[in-house]
Amino acid sequence: MKQFINQMEEEMAAAFEKAGYDPSLGKVTVSNRPDLCEYQCNGAMAAAKKYHKAPFVIANDVAAALQGSRVFGEVTVVNPGFINLKADADFLRDYLVEMSADEHLSVEQSKEPETIIIDYGGANVAKPLHVGHLRSAVIGESIKRILRSQGHHVIGDVHLGDWGLQMGLIITELKKRSPELVYFDPDYQGEYPKEAPFTISELEEIYPCASGRSKQDPAYKEEAMQATYELQNGNRGYYALWEHILAVSVADLRKNYGNLNVEFDLWKKESDAQPYIPDMVEYLKNNGYAHTDQGALVVDVKEENDTKEIPPCMILKSDGSSLYNTTDLATLVMRRELYDPDEVIYVVDKRQELYFTQVFRCARKTKIVRDDTKLKFLGFGTMNGKDGKPFKTREGGVMRLEHLIADIGEEMYCKITENHETDPEEAKQTARLVALSALKYGDLSNQASKDYIFDVEKFTSFEGNTGPYILYTIVRIKSILAKYREQTEENSEIEEKIGLFRTDSEKDLQLLLARYGSSIEGAAAELAPHKICAYIYELANAFNHFYHETKILAEPDPVRKAELIALIDLTREVLERSIDLLGFSAPERM
Ligand code: ARG
């Protein structure tokens, strides 16, 4: 379906042409003076240069050509040549009626859908999920849903870190604690036990302990590095242990991501790319892309116009072992072979930006990716506490994600049960949904690349620019709709059509609803969920303003009443689809 603003632009372009000017000058934008008009066109200013005429004259020519327009209800020319616009009421109403009937609710579907892989989540096996991983999961999930809503084939891949030193550390620590385990017997030939020799809570205690020790004790670290090397080079017992670590850890990660409403299509890991490394290294060598530098195999990636130094991309260390780089490049080889993506988007901490610049340049230069494959780095900032430092627990430790979610859930539960009596089970469910909205909206409403302050009190408030406020608005609409259905038992389906606006607040609400499609498209083009947040906050405010000024259920004229009901039902639909794109949903009551 063609966007509201694009239809306006077409009308404007036709008017420019009719008046004898270049139609491409007829750009229409949302007004930055909403007190004067709803939309505006500044094309006469640009036309003035081109045609050596006063902009005011040109604007008047265009306005004359717009006489009787079905799109614009009011066209006003103001000095020095701005064209101020108001939408025609029928055009607006017709657009909303068409939008309500459209299965995509006016979001245009891509004519050439792309295969897009989103690399997000990125948790490390055997390390508890902490708030640092929250952003990648929350932002990536939203980007995935937004691109999917445009009809693209989007594949979400968690790309777990499972191949690095953390594995060697855990194995080393386990060996110290239980040297008798069969995994450490070099002569053992039989099958290894099916049951892991540790639980997830033990595993989570082992890793920080081992990591702490390795920092104190160089010999311990040396051992861990050796264990990592052996794991990667065919030590059977270590490999069997690694499989246990993976299974226990992934089960826990699935639960945690599930609680966050984050779903991955692929649960691939760094280790899945390992089989692609040997051929890739051969290829890089044989084609002269890689050369040896102080024993290491590297690919130069600096470019002429670089203003800062971009170091070479290291493919193999001098001891022949592979690195984070190697895995990411081999993962691109694997992805091309298995999915042939048109685009790969990495949602990773922005501190890894330089690293990804190297990887992307290397992949392009060496033609590991197709020439037309887009590689994008969506770097996010740090989540800080109120003190402006990286978010910690009250005791100063690293906050575990599940504790954070539980804390917010409890706070929400108290708020919900404090006001009215509710069934405890339902209250718990509701608290979960509202808590998730607080957490996700609190994150997504900020531009991803910026650091932000995680302020639980602010995020959980039912007022202001928060997730709970948006849910509250949706629930308010749902309750009006439910009452309306009760009043009109015989036709319980709401199928009446939106009417012409009669008040300013109704018009404002209608105009905002008409902007839904272009808001989503803008968010998709810029990979910017915060644009959806800004849009729904404005929409929720417009709805609440309208609601306070308008009798809906008490409206005596049944036709008008049905029209109002259709309008708020569309508002609900737009809000619900929007929050689904952000990755959360609304309860029936709260
Ligand atoms: N596991 C990594 C980390 O915790 C993030 C992975 C990001 N994705 C990638 N393809 N490198 O830093």
Q: Which residue's alpha carbon is at the smallest distance from atom 6 of ligand 1?
A: 122
Whether residue 359 has its Cβ less than 6 Å from ligand 1: no
Pairing of strands 313-316, 296-299: antiparallel
> How many A from CA of 290 to the centre of ligand 1?
24
Instruction: Grade residue 300 by pLDDT with cuts at 50, 70 and 90.
Output: very high
39 in a structural domain: yes
Specify the pLDDT at position 493: 57
Which DSSP letter does residue 178 get?
A: -
297 CB under 6 A from ligand 1?
no
Give how far the C-alpha of residue 533 lies from the chain's centroid of Cα atoms, to the nearest Å: 11
Closest ligand 1 atom, residue 356 Cα: 11
Contact 122 CB / ligand 1 (< 6 Å): yes
Atom of ligand 1 nearest to the CA of 348: 7
Ligand 1 atom showing the smallest separation from residue 324 Cα: 11
pTM for this predicted structure: 0.94
Measured from the Cα of 328, ligand 1's closest atom is: 10
Establish whether residue 119 lines the binding site of ligand 1, counting it when its CB lies within 6 angstroms of any ligand atom: yes
Q: Is 159 touching ligand 1 by the criterion CB < 6 Å?
A: yes
The domain tally of the chain equals: 2
- Closest CA to ligand 1's atom 5: 122
Q: Is the CB of 140 under 6 A from ligand 1?
A: no
Note whether residue 115 is domain-resident.
no
Kindly report, residue by residue over 252-291, the tens digit of the pLDDT.
999 999 999 999 999 999 999 999 999 999 999 999 999 9
Q: Can you tell me the distance from the alpha carbon of 271 to that of 264, in angstroms, rounded to the nearest whole number? A: 17
Distance, CA of 585 to CA of 417 (rounded, Å): 20
Structure confidence by residue, pLDDT tens digits, 426-473? 999 999 999 999 999 999 999 999 999 988 889 999 999 999 999 999
Tens-place pLDDT, residues 308-352: 999 999 999 998 888 999 999 999 999 999 999 999 999 999 999
Residue 21: give its domain's CATH number.
Answer: 3.30.1360.70
Final residue in a domain of this structure, among 53, 87, 121: 87
For tokens 């920092």, the residue is 215
Highest mean pLDDT among 422-426, 458-462, 578-582: 578-582
Which of 348, 354, 376, 378 to probe ligand 1 with, by most ligand atoms within 8 A of CB? Answer: 348
Question: Is there a domain that residue 414 lies in?
Answer: no
The answer to whether the beta carbons of residues 190 and 236 sit under 8 Å apart is no
Which is nearest to 505 in space by CA: 546, 535, 564, 537?
A: 546
- Specify whether the CB–CB gap between 348 and 139 falls below 8 A: no
- As a whole-number percent, the residues of the chain with pLDDT over 70 amount to 98
Pocket of ligand 1 contains residue 43 by CB under 6 Å: no
**CA 293 to ligand 1 center in whole angstroms:** 26
Task: Out of 87, 104, 135, pick the residue that ends a domain.
Answer: 87
Domain final position from 40, 68, 87: 87
Span between the terminal Cα atoms of the chain, in Å: 35
Q: Nearest C-alpha to atom 8 of ligand 1 is from which residue?
A: 122
Q: Establish if 474 belongs to a structural domain.
A: no
The answer to whether residue 540 sits within a structural domain is no
| Structural contact between residues 30 and 515, judged by C-beta atoms closer than 8 angstroms | yes
521 lines ligand 1 (CB under 6 A): no
The 10s digit of each residue's pLDDT in 485-514 is 988 866 555 666 999 999 999 999 999 999
399 alpha carbon to ligand 1 midpoint, in Å?
19
- CA distance readout (Å), 299 to 224, 291, 370: 28, 6, 18
In a domain, 426, yes or no: no
Amino acid at 24: S
Distance (Å, rounded) from C-alpha 580 to C-alpha 472? 15
Q: Which domain holds residue 19?
A: 4-87
- C-alpha of residue 499 to centroid of ligand 1, in Å: 51
Q: Is the CB of 322 under 6 A from ligand 1?
A: no
Residue 37 domain flag: yes
Q: How far, in Å, from the CA of 544 to the mean position of ligand 1?
A: 42
Ligand 1 atom closest to 160 (CA) = 1
Alpha helices per DSSP H over 395-528: 401-419, 424-444, 456-459, 467-487, 504-514, 516-525
Residue 387 lies in a domain: no
Alpha-carbon dihedral sign for residues 212, 215, 220, 223: positive
